[in-house]
Every structure is written in C-alpha cells, then in structure tokens.
C-alpha cells in the first residue's frame, strides 16, 4: 500500500463522510482543531479507513491520532 | 392556573412541509400515500403502500448534530428549526433553564437499527460498527438529538409510547407549563418510513393490502371497505409558552391548549378498548372544564383497522352523541405512528384558524357497526373555536388534547 493511496483515501473519506472542505485537508491539519472533528469522529474515521484499506486499526487507535500526518504514519506502520 | 398557548409550528408530512401545504393538501383531497415497489424484496410481504415525506434536504442540519441522527430525528430537527423560526425565539430563550422539551417516536431510526444489528447478530462481532448507530436508533434519539442540537438546558422528557408519542409529548409540555415547572416547551414527535414498521402490523394482520395499485384510496377510516392501516412518516414540533409571557413579547398565538388527559385501558396489549377511549375524552373535557357540546370538531385517531375504528366511534358517541363533526385525517396520509399526534394537532390548529372541517378522505359508506356520528363526507367550514384531537396506542395508552382559539 502506498502513502499516496492512503492520503487519497483519507481525503475522500474526510470529504464524503465528514463534510470537510477540500482546501482544509492540508499537511499538518489537526483533526480536532482545524477540521471540527471530535473523539467520536476519530473513532468513526478509524472504522471507515479500516474498512476501505483492510488494515488492522482499532477504536483505541483514535486516541493516538491528532493530525493527518500522524494518522497516515500510523496506517503505514500497519499496512 | 397558568394558561398554555402555541406560538410556533413546524411540520413535515406526506401532504406537505408547512401548514399552508398541509391545508392545501387536505382541501384538494390529495393523498400522500404512494405505492412502494421496493418492499417487494421482502418475502410474502403483502402491503405496498406508505405515506412518504418529500424532503431530504438533510444539510440544513449541521453535520455535528446530524451525525447521530437517523431520518426520524433529522425530520424532527427540521420541524424544530422551523418552529423556532416561526416563534421568533432567541438563543437565550431556547437555552433558558425553564425552557424544556418533550419529543417521541415509536422507534428510533429503523434504517440505522437494521444496518447495525443485522451484522452484529449474524457475525457475532462489534468490530466495524461506528459510534453513531446506537445514537440513531435508541428509543429517545429524537429528544436527545434535539436537546443537543438546540442547546436545551431545561427538562427533557422523552415520550416514546408508539402512536401516542407526540400527542403525549404535547400533553407533557402543557402540564409542565401549566403546573409551573417550565415557562416554554418544545414538543412533538416523528417517525421514519421503513418496511419494518409496516411488517410488524402485517404480522398482526392489520395492514392495508387491497389497494396497492390505487394507493390514494387507502386507508379508509370508518368505511365499509377499509382493510387496515397504512404506515407513514412525518414529524412536527409545537412551541408552547405560558400565555402571559407570550402575550408580553407580542408572540403570534395559534391557539390555547385548554385540556389534556392520558389514561390506560389496563386490559389487552393491542385490542382497543372503547371504555378506555371514552374515559380519556371525558378526562380531557374535565381538565378543560367544558361540556362536550362546546367541541366543534374532533380529529379522530381512526387508523382504518376494523376493530379500532368501531371502538373509537362508540367511545366518541358515548361522550358526544351524533352532533359533533368528526374525521380521521389518516385517509390523506396514512398513520404517522409517533408523528401522528402532533401532525393531527396541527390540522386542528388549521381548523381553528380557517374553519375547515376536513372530510374523511376515502369514506364513502360508513361501516354499519360503527356508531352514528356526524362523519364528515365533504369539507365543511364552521365557526367553531374548540377542537379535540384523540390518539391511542399499543399498551392501551390513550391521549386526548383540546385546543381553543384565542380571542383577538
């Protein structure tokens, strides 16, 4: 799995499911401070990415992510 | 005792999505019932008719609020938005600790329930479930979501009693203000269409199945050719306020709630009791301190089931005799279940405002076993100032509400 695919999938999920504006999805964007998401959103983001990429993400992983880059890194370590 | 008035209205119904559309739908004898072909995917499921709301503009509800709502709560939230705007309320008034809510539905979101539970039960795992499903299908999803979205700080009493959910919610709001617990209450209810709602009635042989190809001809409350109820969806919200406060702020007042009662049959879990229905109407009249002859129109619950319509007609006759105009407006849109009490109360408000006494759509010949009431075969226009709305639910739960026009 390439990082490019992960970023593209994450972007798609953020736009489609969380109604984030495309221009807000930038490197370093913080889910909670910049994208108006909260802890429940983080859990659901994990569930959706897990299904899309068929990786081993768990709800508790939601506590480990704050930025897009951190999340992408986490996924790449599990891929 | 404090007086309680209605100062805001929001509605989504199979006949229209505001009071004007609802009124025009009734006056033109339109039907909100349609043929639903997609239900054919359910094996041996006979009914194909349902009353559907033509509204899916979900994005008027902010995502953070909407994510924990299924259609049942989204529709209710939209009517709440409309009712708040109609009443012209500020955020301070809405979030006052003496402003509360009461909302109900028969079920939470059936669609969310099916999406979630089916997988869990079959695969015996909670993996892959999102955090929002339960919040969408839990019993008090409408009340909980509206409270969070509108920052309600006062009392929140969910009223989830199937077909009396929203009429009971109105009653709870009325009593909360009348007896001094609140100064303002947002009340109402909702239901979303789903084959499950129709299916549970079909299991009990209570759904309409003979009019699948002519959906505008069913349901047929009180008619000899009725063959069961038609499930429907819809939602409504009323803003209730203490009369003097409403008057002081110059609020538009639709009507006063002068009477409410709820009582139980305490008998069979589903079979309607004429005695129980009669009792609740008498209790509501007592609460309003009026005699039956003062009521100028009765909006009946009558769902078009054989037993229910007969029982209700005799209960009504025992209280009112044969002189009070009566109709069930379910003939226009089907049975909104948790939403019917509030939408039918709104029809009562239309009646008070315009004088319209809505005809019983699809009533051609009254069932001879029904009591001899003044059934409305055509629309009439009266000069009445009091209407009654009756609703009855599984569990032998009965409600009766009485609304009165406010003198200018």
**Residue ranges of domains in chain A:** 3-78
The 10 Å Cβ neighbour count of residue B14 is 28
Beta bridge partners of B232: B51
- Cα–Cα distance for residue pair B316/B300, rounded to 1 Å: 9
The pLDDT value given to residue B244: 97
Quick check: is B335 catalytic? yes
* Secondary structure class of B156 (helix, strand, coil): strand
Question: Which candidate in B50, B160, B163, B370 is catalytic?
Answer: B163
B130 touches A at CB < 8 Å: yes
Residue in A19, A38, A44 closest to B130 by CB: A44
Alpha helices by DSSP H, listed for A1-79, are 3-16, 39-53, 68-78
With CB atoms and an 8 Å threshold, state whether B67 touches A47.
Answer: no
The pLDDT value given to residue A50: 93
**Are the C-beta atoms of residues B372 and B316 closer than 8 Å to each other?**
no
Tell me the pTM: 0.96
Share of chain B above pLDDT 70, in %: 100
Residue B210, pLDDT above cutoff 90: yes
Quick check: is B50 catalytic? no
DSSP A28: T
Residue A64, pLDDT above cutoff 90: no
* Secondary structure class of B185 (helix, strand, coil): strand
Count the alpha carbons within 13 Å of B329 in the hemisphere toward its beta carbon: 34
Residue in A19, A38, A47 closest to B128 by CB: A47
Structure tokens that stand for B342 in this block: 């509030």
For A75-79, B294-298, B330-334, which range has the lowest pLDDT when averaged over its residues? A75-79
User: Would you list the DSSP string of B230-296?
Assistant: -BB-EEEEEEEEEHHHHHHTT----EEEEEEEEEE--S-SSS--HHHHHHHHHHHHHHHT--GGG--
Residue in A36, A44, A50 closest to B64 by CB: A36
Number of domains in chain B: 1
Q: Compute the average pLDDT of residues B292-297.
A: 98
- Reported as a single tens digit per residue, the pLDDT across B336-381 is 999 999 999 999 999 999 999 999 999 999 999 999 999 999 999 9
Structure tokens that stand for B291 in this block: 């005699």
Average pLDDT, chain B: 97
**Are the C-beta atoms of residues B218 and B208 closer than 8 Å to each other?**
yes
Structure tokens that stand for B154 in this block: 């006062």
Residue B110, pLDDT above cutoff 70: yes
B126 touches A at CB < 8 Å: no
- In chain A, what residues touch B64 (CB-CB under 8 Å)? 36, 38
For residue B89, what is the domain's CATH number? 3.40.47.10
- Cα–Cα distance for residue pair B387/B382, rounded to 1 Å: 11
DSSP B392: E
* B250 vs A59: which has the higher pLDDT: B250
Pairing outcome for strands B356-357 and B380-381: antiparallel
Alpha carbon B379 to its chain centroid, in Å, reads 21
Question: Which candidate in B140, B194, B314, B335 is catalytic?
Answer: B335
Q: Compute the average pLDDT of residues B270-289.
A: 96
The pLDDT value given to residue B408: 61
- Reported as a single tens digit per residue, the pLDDT across B163-187 is 999 999 999 999 999 999 999 999 9
- Chain A interface disruption, residue of B63, B127, B129, B130, most A CBs within 10 A: B130
Domain span at residue B351? 4-404
- Cα–Cα distance for residue pair B187/B400, rounded to 1 Å: 15
Q: Compute the average pLDDT of residues B80-107.
A: 98
- Reported as a single tens digit per residue, the pLDDT across B114-163 is 999 999 999 999 988 999 999 999 999 999 999 999 999 999 999 999 99
The pLDDT value given to residue B240: 98
- Reported as a single tens digit per residue, the pLDDT across B24-43 is 999 999 999 999 999 999 99
Structure tokens that stand for B249 in this block: 């702020």
Domain at A3-78, CATH class = mainly alpha
- In chain B, what residues touch A48 (CB-CB under 8 Å)? 130
Residue A79, pLDDT above cutoff 80: no
Interaxial angle between packed helices A68-78 and A3-16, expressed in degrees from 0 to 180 and rounded to the nearest 10: 130
Q: Give Rg (Cα) of chain A.
A: 11
Would you list which residues of chain A are within 8 Å, Cβ to Cβ, of chain B? 18-19, 36, 38, 40-41, 43-44, 47-48, 50-51
Q: Compute the average pLDDT of residues A56-73.
A: 90
What lies within 8 Å, CB to CB, of B96 at 6+ separation is B153, B154, B183, B184
**Are the C-beta atoms of residues B161 and B168 closer than 8 Å to each other?**
yes
**Are the C-beta atoms of residues B220 and B306 closer than 8 Å to each other?**
no
With CB atoms and an 8 Å threshold, state whether B132 touches A40.
Answer: yes
Provide the number of CB pairs (under 8 Å) joining chain A to chain B. 21
């Amino acid at each position: 799995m390439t990082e490019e695919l992960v970023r593209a999938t994450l972007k798609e999920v953020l736009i489609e499911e969380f109604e984030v504006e495309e221009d807000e999805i930038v490197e370093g964007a913080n889910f909670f401070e910049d994208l108006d998401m909260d802890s429940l959103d983080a859990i659901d983001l994990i569930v959706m990415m897990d299904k899309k990429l068929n990786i081993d993400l768990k709800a508790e992983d939601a506590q480990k992510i704050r930025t897009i880059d951190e999340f992408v890194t986490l996924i790449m370590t599990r891929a | 005792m404090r007086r309680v008035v209605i100062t805001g209205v929001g509605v989504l119904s199979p006949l229209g999505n505001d009071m004007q559309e609802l009124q025009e739908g009734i006056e033109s004898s339109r039907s909100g019932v349609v043929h639903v072909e997609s239900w054919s995917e359910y094996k041996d499921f006979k009914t194909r008719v349902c009353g559907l709301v033509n509204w899916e503009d979900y994005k008027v509800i902010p995502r953070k609020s909407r994510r924990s709502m299924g259609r049942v709560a989204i529709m209710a939230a939209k009517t709440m938005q409309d009712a708040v705007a109609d009443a012209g309320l500020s955020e301070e008034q809405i979030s006052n600790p003496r402003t509360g809510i009461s909302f109900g539905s028969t079920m939470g979101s059936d669609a969310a329930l099916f999406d979630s539970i089916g997988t869990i039960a079959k695969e015996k795992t909670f993996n892959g479930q999102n955090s929002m499903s339960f919040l969408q299908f839990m019993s008090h999803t409408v009340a909980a979501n509206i409270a969070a979205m509108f920052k309600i700080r006062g009392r929140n009493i969910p009223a989830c009693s199937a077909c009396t959910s929203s009429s009971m919610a109105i009653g709870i709001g009325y009593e909360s203000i009348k007896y001094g617990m609140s100064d303002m209450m947002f009340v109402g209810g909702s239901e979303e269409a789903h084959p499950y709602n129709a299916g549970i009635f079909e299991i009990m042989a209570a759904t309409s199945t003979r009019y699948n190809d002519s959906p505008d001809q069913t349901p047929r409350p009180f008619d000899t050719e009725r063959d069961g109820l038609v499930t429907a969806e819809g939602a409504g919200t009323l803003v209730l306020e203490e009369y003097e406060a409403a008057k002081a702020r110059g609020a538009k007042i639709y009507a006063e709630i002068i009477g409410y009662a709820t009582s139980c049959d305490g008998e069979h879990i589903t079979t309607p009791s004429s005695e129980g229905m009669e009792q609740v109407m008498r209790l509501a009249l007592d609460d309003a301190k009026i005699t039956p002859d003062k009521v100028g129109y009765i909006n009946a619950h009558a769902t078009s089931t054989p037993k229910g319509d007969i029982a209700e007609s005799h209960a009504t006759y025992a209280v009112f005799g044969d002189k009070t105009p009566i109709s069930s407006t379910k003939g226009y849109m089907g049975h909104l279940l948790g939403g019917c009490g509030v939408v039918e109360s709104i029809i009562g408000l239309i009646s008070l405002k315009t004088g319209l006494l809505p005809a019983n759509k699809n009533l051609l010949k009254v069932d001879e076993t029904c009591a001899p009431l003044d059934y409305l075969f055509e629309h009439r226009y009266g000069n009445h100032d009091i209407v009654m709305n009756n609703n009855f639910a599984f569990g032998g739960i009965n409600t009766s509400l009485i609304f009165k026009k406010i003198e200018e």
